[in-house]
Amino acid sequence: MMKKVMCEAIALAMVFTLGAVCQWASGGESLTDGLKGFSGQVRGLVVAKGEKNTFTFKVARVLRVWKNNKAEKPESLAGRSVPVGPRWVKGERGKWNPVELHVAFIRGLKAGQEITLEIQHAERDHFAILELSAEQRKSAGGAGRHEPRERAKRSDRPRNQEARIKELEAEVRRLKAENAELRRKLERAKGKRR
């Protein structure tokens, strides 16, 4: 029994140590509960570029907070360095892909550059770009292009398209009949006024 307790204590200590080492090695600051779910516009400095289309962003100030913000203390993001990456969207075949425009924008960033960004808390301590400004899209080589919205899943589409078409045709027939009835009533009302 004593061996089991000792093994559990050692394992727990190793987990805590590993977590602390990972946090220290990542160079990032731990995200407090008050910032989880943040969504808004921030201004800051590109500190460094990372691997896999990410960069470290030192937030100077929070400019706006969006309606979908869930952070309890969004203003506490100011002064923190956070990793930022592209937003990911689900493709037609169910595979998640980064938004290409965001990837191109991140590749064009340079350390020391001051920018305004719309970001959202993605997971753990990471943030994702929500949307780029027109100027940022242009600098990313996507002038006039808009960022893709998540596409409907195949399972969201009608399974039997023929049945759906028949339903819609029946609805159109019903609306046409209703329209004809309303026109007849309108003509009768006009005739009584004369």
Write the pLDDT tens digit of every residue in 37-90. Answer: 999 999 999 999 988 899 999 999 999 999 999 999 999 999 999 999 999 988
pLDDT of residue 112: 95
Mean pLDDT of 100-106: 93
Q: How does pLDDT run across 110-163, given as a tens digit for each residue?
A: 999 999 999 999 888 899 999 999 899 888 886 545 555 554 444 444 456 777
- Select the more confidently predicted residue: 65 or 164: 65
Is the pLDDT assigned to residue 25 strictly greater than 50?
no
pLDDT of residue 2: 56
pTM of the model: 0.58
Residue 166's φ and ψ, nearest 5 degrees, are -60, -40
Pairing of strands 39-49, 55-65: antiparallel
Give start and end residues of each alpha helix (H) in the chain. Answer: 2-26, 100-107, 134-139, 161-193
